[in-house]
Amino acid sequence: MTSHVLDLAGAGIGPFNLSLAAQLDSIPELSVRFFERRAAFAWHPGMMLPGAEMQTSILKDLVTATNPTSPWSFLAYLVAHKRFYQFINAEYEAVPRKEFADYLGWVARGLSSLRFGTSLRDVHLDGDRFDIATDNETVHAKNLAVGVGKVPSRPAWAEALPKSMTFHSSEAVSRLTEVKAGRIAVVGGGQSGAEIVDALVERNDVSAVHWISRRPNFEPLDATPFTNELFTPSYMERFHVLPEELRLIHTRRQVLASDGVSASTLKKLYRRLYERQFEAGQGVDHGISLRPFRDVVAAEQEGSGISLTMRNGFDGNIETLTVDMVVLATGYRFVLPEFLHSLEDRIAFNSLGEPVLESDFSLAWDGPRENRIFVLNAGRHSHGIAEPQLSLAAWRSAVIANALVGRQHFDLTQIDPVVRWESEGGPARLPAHLGQAAE
C-alpha cells in the first residue's frame, strides 16, 4: 500500500484521459497517475479499416486548442517524425485515422504519468480522499478522472442471435477477415456503417451487402461553419445551463452534426454502386442493396440464415430480409464502471440513466466538493453533442486542470460567439393579445 496521496487518479487511458494527462504534464506541482488495464495504448483497433479517415481537424488534437506550445500536439508529432512537409504536401482533406492513432500512441509512450497493465478494482471514499484498489496495490487520491469509454450498444432484437452470426462494428477488423457469409446486412447509417459497407463491397466472396438505416436517407456529416459552432466552448457553456428536456430535444435534432457520414465516403460508395450497375447491366442484381428508413423490429435464426423484420418508414410497410450475417454499427452507450458501484447510491442520474455532470465535468454526488469524480465521454446530454467527440477534448481537459489547481492555469475566456444562442436579457412576457391567442 502506498501512503502518498495523488491529486488525481485516472481510470482508463483512451484519447480523453490521454488529453487530460498531456495537459496536466504542464503543471508539475500536481501529482497524477493514470491506469489502464491493457498492456499498451490502443484506440478503436477494431475499426482501423483501410482508408478510414478522421472527421475532425488536426488542430483539434489533445492539447492545441488551449495549449498550443505543448510538446504533445499533432504538429509536434509530425515534426518529431520528420513528416511535417510531406504531410502538408499530401493535402489531406481528412487525416487518415491510422496516423492519428499513431500520434495518440506516441503521446502515450512519452508521458510518465501513465501506468498500463493495471486495472482499478474498487473505489471508496475515506475521509478527504479516495482509496482505490488496483490489481496489486491501494492508491490514494483526492480526485478521480474516469475515462474508460463506452461499451458497444447492441439492440434488443439482436441479443438472441448467435455470436457467430453477428458482431458489433468495434470488432470489424478481426471479424471481417473471418467472414464466410455470402449475404451480409450492415445495420446503422453512420460513419462506422458506411466504412464497413465500403470494406465489404471490396470482397469477391460476398454476394450481397444490405445497408440498413433508421434514418430517412444516407446522410452526410453536417460540417458547415454555423453547425460547427455547436463544437465550441461558448455553445457548450450555454447548452449546459438549459433544462434537461430542452437539452434532449437539441441533441436529437443535431445528430447529423456529430454522426453523419463523411461526404467523401458517401461519394465513394455511390460511385461503386454506379460502377456495379454499369458492369452488371440494366435489371441485373449487382449485390448492393441500400435500405434507408428501415427500423429493424425483430430478428430470428432460420436454419443457417437470419430473418430480419423491418418497418419501412417511407411507405409504412413491413418487410423481411434473409441474410447470413448481421454487422451492428449501432454505436455505444455509457455504463457506470464496476469500480464505482460502491458509490452508485450517492451519484445523481438524469432521466436517461446517465450521470449528471457539473459544468467542470465532475459528477453531481453527495460527497465532499473537494473530492471530485470527473467523467469524460458521458456528457452528450449535459454538455452537448461535442462532448463525446475529439473536438473539445483539449478544452475539457483544460477545464478539469483549472478545477484541480483552483486557478486559471489555462486561459479559457472566449470571445462572443458568432451565433446568438440564448435570449438577450433573459426571458420576456408575450404581449397580452398573443398570450390569449395561445390559450
CB 86 within 8 A of CB 121: no
Q: Which three cell numbers stand for residue 192?
A: 462506422
pLDDT at residue 430 greater than cutoff 80? no
Nearest CA to 229 out of 381, 397, 417 is that of 417
- Adjacent-strand bridge partners of 186: 211, 327
pLDDT digits (tens, 9 = 90+) for 59-104: 999 999 999 999 999 999 999 999 999 999 999 878 899 999 999 9
Question: The C-alpha cell of 225 is what?
Answer: 461553419
Residue linked to cell 481528412: 94
Indicate the residue type of 407: R
User: What is the grid cell recorded at 362?
Assistant: 465532475
Q: Report helix, strand or coil for 200.
A: helix
Cell digits of residue 28: 508539475
User: Span 341-359, mean pLDDT?
Assistant: 95
Q: What whole-number distance in Å separates Cα of residue 144 and Cα of residue 123?
A: 10
Residue 147: which of 45, 222, 35 has the closest Cα? Answer: 35
- Give the integer Cα–Cα distance in Å for 62 and 17: 9
Question: Residue 437 pLDDT more than 80?
Answer: no
User: Would the pLDDT of 2 be above 60?
Assistant: no
Residue ranges of domains in the chain, CATH in brackets: 5-150+334-405 (3.50.50.60), 153-221+260-328 (3.50.50.60)
pLDDT of residue 20: 98
Cα dist. 297→44, 156, 308, 321 in Å? 28, 9, 8, 12
Share of the chain above pLDDT 90, in %: 81
**CA–CA–CA angle 46, 388, 123 (5° rounding):** 85
Q: Is the pLDDT of residue 303 over 60?
A: yes
Contact 304, 316 (CB under 8 A): no
Residues near 409 by beta carbon (within 8 Å), at least 6 away in sequence: 26, 27, 398, 401, 402
Write the pLDDT tens digit of every residue in 225-278: 999 999 999 999 999 999 999 999 999 999 999 899 999 999 999 998 898 888
Mean pLDDT over 116-143 rounds to: 95
Place of cell 461553419: 225
For 358, the grid coordinates are 457539473
pLDDT in tens, 172-225: 988 988 888 889 999 999 999 999 999 998 887 888 999 999 999 999 999 999
The helix/strand/coil state of 179 is coil
Q: What residues contact residue 410 under an 8 Å CB cut-off, 6+ apart?
A: 23, 66, 67, 398, 401, 402
**Secondary-structure percent of the chain, ordered helix, strand, coil, rounded to 5:** 35, 20, 45
Burial class of residue 68 (count of CB atoms within 10 Å of its CB; 0-12, 13-18, 19+): exposed
Q: Which of 3-17, 389-403, 411-425 has the lowest mean pLDDT?
A: 411-425
- 435 pLDDT above the threshold of 70: no
How far apart are alpha carbons 162 and 228 in whole angstroms? 41
Residue 207 corresponds to which cell in the numbers above?
A: 454476394
Least trusted range by pLDDT, from 57-61, 293-297, 372-376: 57-61
Q: Can you give the pLDDT at residue 181?
A: 82
Question: Residue 66 and residue 392: Cα distance in Å, rounded?
Answer: 10
CA distance to 32, 299, 327, per residue, from 200 (Å): 44, 22, 11
> Phi and psi dihedrals of 288, rounded to 5?
-120, 125
Q: What is the pTM of this model?
A: 0.92
> Mean pLDDT of all residues in the chain?
93
Q: What is the DSSP string of 325-342?
A: EEEE---EE----GGGGG
